[in-house]
Amino acid sequence: MNPMAQQPENIALYEQQMKKGTLDPFPYDRLMIYYRKQKEYKKELQIINQAIKIFSDQLEKQAGQQIEAAKSRASIKRLSEKFSKLSGLVDKKGNPKYLPEPLAHWTKRKQTVQQKLKK
């Protein structure tokens, strides 16, 4: 069987998973690659934006849960904040300096796609 003939079926499955808001980066990555190879940069940018939003929301939700859990343990929270600042993981205001994967990769790709769309 021709692998190219199966791609639209796979794309439909990946799009279904994406619409469900899956937290698995694989379908988003595969869709980005597919649209990149098809030179459909607007669609790729839409996928990137949606993936970044879903994963950023999840990251904020997890951070909020950790903060709530740490409120009852103030000394642990203070130590954690100090360690993060000393190790350079957060800035002076407590904002993270680094994005976890796959957000860092997708943010970089977003910039590349935006430059291609400007041309």
What are the tens digits of pLDDT across the range 82-115?
887 888 878 877 777 777 889 989 999 999 999 9
Question: Number of structural domains, the chain?
Answer: 1
Interval 29-77: pLDDT, tens: 999 999 999 999 999 999 999 999 999 888 888 877 776 666 667 777 7
What is the reported pLDDT for 4? Answer: 46
Instruction: Provide the domain limits for residue 60.
Output: 3-118
This prediction's pTM: 0.73
Residue for token digits 């988003």?
28
User: Could you tell me which of 118, 96, 99, 115 has the C-alpha nearest to residue 52?
Assistant: 99
